[in-house]
Amino acid sequence: MSKSHYSSIVVLTGAGISAESGIKTFRDQGGLWESHRLEDVATPEAFQRDSALVQRFYNERRAQLPLVEPNDGHLALARLEKAVPGTLVITQNVDDLHERAGSHHLIHMHGELSKARCVKSGQLFRVKEPLSEHSLCTCCVPANLLRPHIVWFGEMPLGLDRIFHALAQCDLFIAIGTSGQVYPAAGFVDEAASQGAYCIEINADNSHISDRFDEHRRGPASIEVPKLVKELCGH
């Protein structure tokens, strides 16, 4: 197995890596935002205004998780982590396909569908049945509301200190299946490039940040990611 000459690899994934598993992206044809206005379901104000609608939006997406499987793109990234221990996957996705594929060095910077959070204590709970506007925590007395453990627009993404530390010292940055429209994730390539990392974009199409990359691999993630991983670690 050829040893990858990169020792510190940061991978940023977006909805495009889960598309071939059957999870809708946000901005492609028939994407999630077409059936829901962003402002109506993915902001704290939306949750204040109509928590039943927001809970329903996330219940719908959470219900998909047991019906979908990781694809060859997710599985290839898990192989890369085994071959190059200095690999970190940062995902904007809130599905559980990376962990189910076997990735361990993983940061869900926009939260996770499978978890709910106490609005007061911040404690996390695994979601076992659909949430409603009446769902309550078991960590407070009296109990407080549970919200989806999702980072909404205007909220602070998770793990940013670990993320910026990794970006500052990686020698390879790979973005997979992201349109580069949402910040601060869309700016990660600039952080990596500014300290000399080699930057590769894998996407079915052009993105808003394609011009920031040294190399582009146009095609579906389930084909292009295994190809790149094979070049990096021989299998």
Active site residues: 110
Report the residue number, 139 or 158, with the smaller CB distance to ligand BV8. 158
Q: How far apart are CA 203 and CA 223, in angstroms?
A: 11
Question: Please, what is the minimum distance in Å from the beta carbon of residue 150 to ligand BV8?
Answer: 5
Q: Which two tokens stand for residue 7?
A: 């020792």
Q: Which helix or strand (DSSP H or E) is residue 116 part of? A: strand 111-118
Q: Which of 101, 104, 106, 90 has its CA nearest to residue 20?
A: 101
Q: How many CB atoms lie within 10 A of CB 206?
A: 13
Name the site residues for ligand BV8 (rule: CB under 6 A): 14-16, 19-20, 25-28, 31, 42, 92-94, 110, 150-157, 160, 177-179, 181-184, 203-205, 207, 220-221
Shortest Å distance, C-beta 212 to ligand BV8: 14
Please say which residue, 138 or 194, places its beta carbon nearer to ligand BV8: 194
Shortest distance in whole angstroms from residue 5 CB to ligand BV8: 25
98 contacts 79 by C-beta, under 8 angstroms: no
Nearest residue relative to ligand BV8 (C-beta): 16
| Number of neighbours of residue 194 by Cβ within 10 angstroms | 10
Closer by beta carbon to ligand BV8, 20 or else 96:
20
Q: How many CB atoms lie within 10 A of CB 7?
A: 14
For the chain, helix, strand, coil in percent to 5 are 40, 20, 40
- Give least dist CB 2 to ligand BV8, A: 25
Cβ proximity to ligand BV8, 4 vs 92, nearer residue: 92
Residue 107 dihedral angles phi and psi, to the nearest 5°? -120, 120
Query: Minimum CB separation from ligand BV8 for residue 32, in Å?
Result: 7
Distances from the Cα of 145 to the Cαs of 2, 49, 58, 154, in angstroms?
A: 52, 14, 15, 20
- Rank residues 171 and 230 by Cβ distance to ligand BV8 and give the closer one: 230
